[in-house]
């Protein structure tokens, strides 16, 4: 594990103040129930297609706002399942090709160095993955450091974010 000094010296680490690692709390078993476990109360299942940039028979692409990245989106399955292992075979087979299309659409907004795809599955119990574009040339945001910077930086102007989302929607419509 890196020391606080090593973390602060790493250009990908977004903070400069002195840091001290916290102690882990005792494990919580059983773990608390996550939101949306039941389809009838799942906020993603209850959302209409009008809230999404793009949809098809298996997937819906949600614009994600309030972050310091242009073009951050969340891909959600239409099927109410919790993880990769729960996806029906046809939906699972469609994941790679649709993700490739979305990556190409996100790259089309310009000034994108890399497109990162992440899945944690700790929040809502409905399958979704984050698609996050790293700004071109912003090397501090490489790899998993991107998430720390998302928490450290203020959100972008909403108009910039909306324009990027519209460009992604247009690219997927073609």
CA dist., res. 120 & res. 137, Å (int): 26
Q: What pLDDT shows up at residue 7?
A: 74
**Per-residue pLDDT tens digits for 56-107:** 999 999 999 999 999 999 999 999 999 999 999 999 999 999 999 999 999 9
* Token pair belonging to 102: 């979305």
pLDDT interval class at 152 (50, 70, 90): confident
Asked if residues 12 and 141 have their Cβ atoms less than 8 Å apart, the reply is yes
**10 Å Cβ neighbour count for 59?**
22
Q: What is the pTM of this model?
A: 0.88
* Token pair belonging to 8: 């602060």
């Amino acid at each position: 594990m890196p020391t606080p000094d090593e973390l602060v010296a790493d250009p990908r680490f977004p903070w400069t103040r002195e840091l001290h690692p916290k102690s882990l709390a005792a494990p919580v078993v059983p773990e608390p129930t996550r939101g949306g476990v039941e389809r009838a109360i799942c906020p993603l299942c209850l959302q209409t297609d009008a809230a999404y940039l793009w949809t098809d028979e298996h997937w819906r692409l949600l614009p994600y706002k309030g972050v310091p990245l242009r073009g951050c989106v969340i891909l959600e399955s239409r099927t109410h399942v919790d993880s990769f292992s729960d996806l029906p075979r046809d939906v699972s087979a469609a994941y790679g090709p649709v993700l490739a299309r979305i990556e190409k659409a996100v790259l089309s907004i310009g000034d994108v160095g890399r497109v990162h795809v992440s899945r944690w599955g700790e929040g809502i119990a409905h399958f979704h993955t984050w698609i996050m574009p790293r700004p071109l040339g912003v090397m501090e945001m490489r790899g998993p450091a991107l998430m720390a910077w998302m928490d450290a930086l203020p959100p972008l102007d909403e108009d910039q974010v909306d324009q990027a989302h519209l460009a992604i929607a247009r690219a997927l419509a073609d």
